[in-house]
Amino acid sequence: MRKVRKKGVIRFWSGNRSASRRAFEREVLRAVIECIPYESGYWEIEEDPSDVPGETEAQVFVDKTHDLLVTVGGNPKFDTKDTIVIPQPLDFGMLGSRLLIIRKEDAADFGAIRDKAGLQHKVQGIPLSWADATIFRANGFAVKEEGRVDDLLQRLAGRQFDYTTFGALEVLQLFEPEQPGLSALMIEDTLLLQYEMPLLFYVRSDRPHIAALIEKGLKVISNSGLLRDVLQKHFGGMAAKLQLGQRKKIELRNPLFP
C-alpha cells in the first residue's frame, strides 16, 4: 500500500504581465509539477496574479513570501536579490522577437528602414523599469523610458515618441487597435528586432528543494517535447499571422544576458 504523499504548496507570482503570457507560464508550471516523482510528495500551486509597481517587482520574494516567478533572463530588478535561476528557457526565443507599433501615417518611413542605423535616430517609448530600456540604450537607440504599459500606446498616438515594441508572445493582446484612441496605430509589417531575452523561472534562494524539482521537471518536459507543445497551444498561430519569417531581421545584443 502506498503512503499518502505529503502536500506542499508552491506560491507562484504571475502579476505584471499579459493574460496570454500568464496562462502560458501557468500551464508550463503545472506540466512541470506533474512530472515530479510520487516519492517527492504532492504539490499544489498557489497563484497570485496581482500587479505591483514595476520598480518594486523584486520585493515579491521579500514582502509577499512567494516561492517563484517567471521573468526575463538577466532582469536588472533582481541583480541584488539572492535568487536561484533555472537556466532552461520557456519561450524558444519568442519574447525576444520584437515587433514595432507605429502610427499608420509613418508606415512608409519605417518600411524604408533596412538596418539598425535607420532606427537609431527615432525615439522608442518604453515603460518605466522595463529591462528593454537597458538593452536598446546599449545598442545605441534613443529611448524615452517613463510611464506604464497601460498608457504607452495612448502616448504613442499622442506623438510623445516615434514607436514602441512588444514581444511576439504578447503583441496581439497588448495592442488591440479597436480600443479607443488607438485606431491611428498599427503593427509595423516589415521589421523584426531580435535579441536574446529568455523567459526563466526565478526561485527564492531559501527554496533550493523547489528549485531542484522545477529544474528536473522542466528538463523532462523539454526533452519530451511537451514544453514546445504548450508553447504551440498558446502561441502556435502567431508566427504565421505576424509573418515573422518574412520580415527584415535586425539583431541586437542583450548586455543583461551574457
With both helix axes pointing from N to C terminus, report the angle between 226-235 and 19-34 in degrees, rounded to the nearest 10.
160
Tens digit of each residue's pLDDT (9 = 90 or more) over 57-92: 888 887 778 999 999 998 888 865 679 999 999 999
Tell whether 113 is covered by a domain: yes
The pLDDT of 251-256, averaged and rounded, is 94
Strand segments, DSSP code E, in 87-216 are: 97-103, 123-126, 142-145, 163-167, 185-187, 191-194, 199-204
Percent of the chain with pLDDT over 90: 68
- The x, y and z cell numbers of residue 111, run together, are 518600411
Rounded to two decimals, the pTM is 0.87
Residues found in the chain = 258
* 169: exposed, middle or buried (Cβ count in 10 Å: 0-12, 13-18, 19+): buried
pLDDT at 129: 85
pLDDT at 104: 98
Considering its fold, how many domains does the chain have in total?
Answer: 2
Tell whether 43 is covered by a domain: yes
| pLDDT score of 36 more than 80 | no
C-alpha to C-alpha distance for 201 and 69, rounded to whole angstroms: 6
Cα separation values, 166 from 98, 171, 193, 254, Å: 5, 5, 10, 16
The pLDDT confidence band at residue 1, using thresholds 50, 70 and 90, is: very low
| pLDDT score of 251 more than 60 | yes
Tens digit of each residue's pLDDT (9 = 90 or more) over 108-150: 999 999 999 999 999 999 999 889 999 999 999 999 999 988 8
- The x, y and z cell numbers of residue 45, run together, are 500551486
The pLDDT confidence band at residue 186, using thresholds 50, 70 and 90, is: very high
Structural domain of 62 = 7-93+197-237
C-alpha to C-alpha distance for 89 and 227, rounded to whole angstroms: 10
Name the nearest CA neighbour of 231 among 87, 24, 55.
24
Q: What is the CATH number of the domain that holds 232?
A: 3.40.190.10
Contact 142, 164 (CB under 8 A): no
Tell whether 257 is covered by a domain: no
Alpha carbon 71 to chain centroid, angstroms: 6
Same domain, 74 and 116: no
Same domain, 211 and 172: no
What is the DSSP-derived secondary structure letter of residue 72?
E
Percent of the chain with pLDDT over 70: 94
> Angle CA(164)–CA(94)–CA(45) in degrees, nearest 5?
105
Tell whether 258 is covered by a domain: no
Contact 136, 254 (CB under 8 A): no
Same domain, 181 and 158: yes
